[in-house]
Structure formats: C-alpha cells, structure tokens
Amino acid sequence: MNVLIVGGYGIFTSQLIEKFNKEGWEVYLLTGSKNPTRRHPYVFEQYDFTYDTDSIKEIIDSAAPDIILFTGAYDSNLSSGKTRRESMYYMSSLVNVLMAAQMLGVPRFVYISSHEVYEESYASPVAEGQSTSPVSTKGMLVTQGENLVIRYGETTNMDTVVLRLDHMYWLPRNRKEVTEVHAQLCLSALRNRKIPASEKHIFSSVYIADAVYAIFEIIKKGEHRHSVYQITTSEEENEIEIARIIKETSSRKVTVKDNTIGLTQKNIMSGERVKEEFGIETRFSYGERVRRMMEYMDKNRNDFLRREEREGNWFQRLFRRFEKTFFAVLPFIENFVCFIIVFLINNRTADSEYFRRIDIFLLYVVLFAVFFGKRQAIVSAFFSTLGFIYRQAYYRTAIEVLVDYNIYIWTAQLFIVGMAVGHLRDTLKIITDDKDEEIAFLSGQLDDIYDINSSNLKVKNILEDHIVSYDDSLGVLQNLTASLEQLNPGEAMYQAAGVLCQVLETEDAAIYKVSNADFCRLLVATTEDARQLGKSLKYSEQTELSESLARNEVYVNRSLKKEMPVLAYGLRHGDELEYILMVWNLPFEKISLHQMNLLKVVGYMIQNAITRSDVYMEALSDKRYLPETSILNEEAFEEEVKMSMEISKHDYAESALICIQSAGTVDVLQKNEKELKHYNEILLKNLRETDSIGVGKDGYIYILLANSNAQEAHIVIRRFASQGVVCSLKESM
C-alpha cells in the first residue's frame, strides 16, 4: 500500500516513515518546504513544496496514495500557530490537501490531533465524545482542524479519521528536541539541579513508540466504527511524581521545588475506544521511560547544555572566564589590526602623486563609524592620530609637530567626523531596533487581543448558555413536575433520576436512600459510572460530603477526586436526611453556582413528588397490604414487580425475586393468624427498607430484592434457611 505523509521532518515523522517501511508500505513525503531537504532513506519519493501550492493535485496524483496522513498537531512546519498568518496558512493548507484528496478519490484521510483540544480541567477521564475546550491559540487551531476533517468526511464519500495523541513524549537526542513536559523537567535537573513541579498538574501521556504502533494498527484496518480515537495510556501522572523519579535517577544531587499553587489542572484522556475496537494496549509506562530519558541526558549532557551552563573543574571555569573576556576585547583587537594595515597603506601612498590627496586615516575612521558605531570610531580616531603624528615625526622634530596647529585641526576634524557618523549610525540602529521591538510588541498585543477576544467570546457563550438553560430549565421543570404528578406513585423515585440527567445535562446520576445516620443504600443509578460508590455507602466517612449534607448545602467536588461525585445534595423530611442525589461527570465549566442552585430546585421538586407518593401509598395501605402485616396483596405486588422490570429495562437498577416455599400459600397462612404474624416478623427483620414482600399469582409469598443480583439473592436465601425459612430464586411469578 502507498501512504503520503504530509509533514516536515522531525522525530515523529521519522518514526512514522520507519514503521510504514518496516511493514512493507511505500512511503511518499510532502515536506511543506520549498527548500530541498535531505531525503530519508526509507522515503520512496519526496516532494519539497508548501502545502498551499497549486501543484498539490499533481503531487497526490503522482503518489497515488491509499492513505494520506496529515501530521497536523505534530508537524514541525505548522505546530506553533502563534500568529494569525500562520493560523490562516495552517487551515488553508489543510483545506487544499483535503479538496485535492477528495477530487482524486483518495480512500482515507487521517488527521493527527493532540491533547491540546482539551485544555480545561476534568474530574474524570475525557472520552472521545466530550466537547472540546481549547484555550491556547494552538489548541484552537488543532480543534478547528479536527472539526474541518470530520465535517468534510461527513459531507463527502472520503473516509476521514482523527487520531488524538495524549501528551506524546520521546527520548530527545539534543536540546532542540526538548519540547514536552517530561524532557523539560529532565533538562531543569541538568541545568539548575532544581526541578520546579506542581502536584496539581495532573495528566496522562503516551510514548512515541506506542503512538506510532497504534496509528499504524488503526490505519491498516479496513473499517472503523468511529471518526475520532484517542491514543493514550490513561495512566495518571503529575509533575511532582515525575520529578521524584528524575531525582532518584539523576547521577547528581537534585532537589524538587514544589510549585503547587492554584487550582487543580487535571486532564486524563480515555483510550477505551481504541482498546475495545482494535485491541490495542500501550506497552511503555512513563516511569520506565523517564528513567531512561534522564540516564541518557546525564551521559550526553553536552548535547543539552549550553557552554555557560556546563559545569567543570577550576581550569575549565577559568578558561570560560578568559574566553568571555577575550570576546569582549576582540573588537578592539580587530580595530588595532585594521589600523596597522591602514598605517602601512598610508606609508605606501603618502609619497604617491595619485593617492596623496586621499586621507587614508579619515576613510578608515568613517568606515568603522559606519559599520561599528561611535565607540569604535573614537578608538579608530585615536589610533589614526597616533599614526599620523608618528608619520610626521619621520622628517620633523617633535617640537615642530607639537606646535603645528594644522595637526590639531586635522585631529579635531577626524574626531568630529568619526563621532558624528558613529552617532548617526547608533541613532539609526536604535530607531530600527525600537521599530522592530514595537512591531514585535504590537504583534504580541494583537495575538493577546485575539486570544482575549476568543476567551471573552467563550465566556459570553457559557453565560448565554446559562441564561438560556435557566429559562429552559423553568419550562423543563414545569413539564417534568407535571409528568411526576401523573406517574404511578411508586415510580416517582426512579423518574427523579431522569429529571436530574435532563435538567443538569449529564448522563450519570444516582439516588441513595439513607438508612440511618451512617449508611445509605443505592436506589437507582443511570450508568455504571454513577454506581461506582457501590450499593451500600457509609457516607459519614466522607468528611466533606457529610459536612455539606449536615449544613443542607450542595456538596461540590472542588478537589476533583475521581472517586467522588461532582455534585451531591440531600433531601430531608423535617430534620431527618432521607435521600442523597448525586451527579457525576459534569463538564468543568458546568460546575457553577447556577448548577448548584439548579440542583437545589430540582431536589425540592423531587422531594415534593416523593412526599406526595408516600402520602398516597400510606392512604391506600389498607387496600394494598394483608391485614396487620407488611405483606402486599396480589394486585399491589404485581404492580411492584412490573415497575421493577421496567426499571431493569432502562438499566437504572436490577432486582431479584425470591419465593417463600416453607410458608405455604397465603390462604393457608391467613387461617392461622399467629403463623402469618410470625413469618411477617422474620421477613421484616432480615430485609432492607427498599425490599418488598407480597403475594404472587400462585398464592405463595414472594420477596422482591431491590438493586440485587442473583448472587446477592442467594446470600439472603441462606440467611433465611438458617432461621428455618426455605426459599428459592425465581425468574418470574
């Protein structure tokens, strides 16, 4: 197969070329530069053109690739995106390549993206479907490239794939290749013996060998289910931990400078999609790679440190000082050498009829003033004066030279001309430098204004979304309140989970019922993420959560602990806590006072719906239960079972059904009132508040275990067996 790699030479591009060549593919390379570069030995054909060239169609037609791989975020030509001009060139280049590829019928287009599309903080691993949140200019540029490639693929027949690489790092060979965080921390250890690191900078990464391997494995597959994939280890790391590894590995004594301040910046990408669909897993851990990196940089420190940064013995330090002094004096030495040459030329031409009218010394001073400025002009004038006087002493006495006013006039002329020209040169250079500095400053200001405007626009959009969502939420809450009132009373609790998800715009919500002052039991959870605290939780051990619930406030996971919900709120009946609402995986920008207040409002409405349901059920207790027992009659229990099956279909909760065989039918039990009360007491004593007891269609007593599977049901069966009650697990009544 043929692959056309669009990208300048660099570590990443070279690794891709070697991988494709090793697998027997023909590799073509579009370098993005007009200047011819040395061809990689494994490149079949190299095209030295810019990406926006009109010849792009002919280039792609010549290569006839099965796949075009646009290196994008890791292209050495385009990776900076610091100015608007570079940004425009990046997007126009991508459009140019895409259009030419589509016109020539290239089957697949692969765009390499990076972690920079997610630059905000996230409490949980970021999945491919999560909305992007770029902040920097480069992040916005890479995100625009992603969106363009995806939309282009959707509107054409071309197969487009976006591959995001998460904080890709590699083993650098020199200082120029030190661009990512792992290598930068190693370089800090080499340069200053100090490693500035923050424990609140939490991220995941992928080693370049794993990234290249995953890219090839995804590309060679004929089909794929998604348009975006993330290549990452999903291994949590932070700067402090990396710094400790470097400190342990370094051959010199290194200290870690803890710069942990401000808010936590957590950005861990999820690679589950690649793992599940392609079975690709990473092989390298950051700990092992960082050790190898530090060992290599220690052994080859001269490749990473400038001359003034290198340490050495006293002789080397003395030599560097001498070298510094020598280069400071060198311009004056050069001036003196030039003076010797000028003096010799003047001696040769002084008696010449053709050159005697030319003032060689004046020409020498003017030239040095023009090229080197006023300081060197003064030195040149001083040397010229000494040379002229020395020349005059050839045929005149010292007294005659000293009293000759023409010499003083000539000397003054020499200094005036030299200083004037030198001053003009210095002034012009200052003006030019100031102009360049002002242009650079204004360019930086323009970029800052662009970034600020983008940031302000993002804040404006978020606030607009909050306002719209607020207005929307009132309508939504009104509709949902009406729907809660129309539901069967027993379904109100489970409908509340849907209310939370819809109003707070999340898929992950859970509701727990408080059993006593310490424990709460899971009633309903919309996803597996929402069930991660388990079916039974001792919430009093979660200090921050229990304190917020005790104050009747919304709990906010400010430290972004992945094992805790983002928001939580307690529902009370009087002074007693009855239920706990938990919301998981809420986008970072949604964790605001607006959302907290919204959760409170939803909580109040859910509380009212539950209270109405409880009052209604209490009013019908005589018609729903067997006399003087907590056993539901046949009709009421059938409704409970149907509701439980409906909840299971939505994956909100699971349930298990147990039949009490030893008790016999209810008709027999009701004839013996004492026996019926005995079974009622045993069953209530060994069951939870969320479980239900009722009469089945066959007349036997059944137990409906809420939020329990078959394995947990067998535990309950053994518990009853130890008390002489024989039970069996049933799939249905």
Residue 134: give its domain's CATH number. Answer: 3.40.50.720
Domain membership flag for residue 590: yes
pLDDT, residue 471, reads 46
pLDDT at 720 over 60: yes
DSSP 346-374: HHHHTT-TTTTTS-HHHHHHHHHHHHH-H
Domain membership flag for residue 481: no
Domain membership flag for residue 465: no
Same domain (yes/no): 123, 144:
yes
CB of 429 within 8 A of CB of 376? no
pLDDT, residue 472, reads 47
Give the pLDDT band (50/70/90) at residue 640: confident
Contact residues for 451 (Cβ-Cβ < 8 A; gap 6+): 136, 137
The boundaries of the domain holding residue 546 are: 487-619
Same domain (yes/no): 289, 142:
no
Which of 619, 637, 657 is a domain's end point? 619
The residue assigned the tokens 């010292």 is 398
Same domain (yes/no): 8, 119:
yes
Same domain (yes/no): 370, 249:
no
pLDDT, residue 270, reads 92
pLDDT at 235 over 50: yes
Name the pTM for this structure.
Answer: 0.53
CB of 660 within 8 A of CB of 727? yes
Give the pLDDT band (50/70/90) at residue 12: very high
pLDDT at 85 over 60: yes
pLDDT, residue 317, reads 59
pLDDT at 211 over 90: yes
Same domain (yes/no): 671, 594:
no
Percentage of the chain lying above the pLDDT 70 cut:
86
pLDDT at 490 over 60: no
CA dihedral 271, 277, 278, 282 (to 10 degrees): 20
pLDDT, residue 529, reads 85
DSSP 585-624: ---GGG-SHHHHHHHHHHHHHHHHHHHHHHHHHHHTHHHH
Give the pLDDT band (50/70/90) at residue 112: very high
Q: Can you give the length of the chain in residues?
A: 733
Percentage of the chain lying above the pLDDT 90 cut:
21
Can you tell me the distance from the alpha carbon of 681 to that of 668, in angstroms, rounded to the nearest whole number?
18
Can you tell me the distance from the alpha carbon of 121 to that of 203, in angstroms, rounded to the nearest whole number?
10
Domain membership flag for residue 257: yes
pLDDT tens, residue by residue, 131-184: 898 888 888 889 999 999 999 998 888 899 999 999 999 999 888 888 889 999
Same domain (yes/no): 434, 507:
no
pLDDT tens, residue by residue, 402-432: 777 777 888 888 888 888 988 888 888 888 8
Domain membership flag for residue 178: yes
Flag the least confident range among 244-248, 368-372, 530-534, 605-609: 605-609
Average pLDDT, the chain: 82
pLDDT tens, residue by residue, 364-408: 888 888 888 888 888 888 888 888 777 777 777 777 777 777 778
Same domain (yes/no): 676, 586:
no
Domain membership flag for residue 468: no
H helix or E strand, kind and range, residue 401: helix 398-403
What b/e sequence results for 306-339 when a residue is b if at least 16 CB atoms lie within 10 Å of its CB, and e otherwise?
eeeeeeeeeeeeeeeeeeeeeeeeeeeeebeebb
pLDDT tens, residue by residue, 296-345: 988 888 888 876 666 555 565 566 667 777 777 787 888 888 888 888 88
Same domain (yes/no): 18, 153:
yes
How many structural domains is the chain composed of? 5
Which of 415, 440, 465 is a domain's end point? 440
pLDDT at 53 over 90: no
Give the pLDDT band (50/70/90) at residue 657: confident
The CATH number that applies at residue 585 is 3.30.450.40
Same domain (yes/no): 40, 87:
yes
Same domain (yes/no): 348, 297:
no
Same domain (yes/no): 584, 639:
no
Domain membership flag for residue 564: yes
Give the pLDDT band (50/70/90) at residue 5: very high
Domain membership flag for residue 664: yes
Same domain (yes/no): 602, 683:
no
Tokens of 592: 């605001």
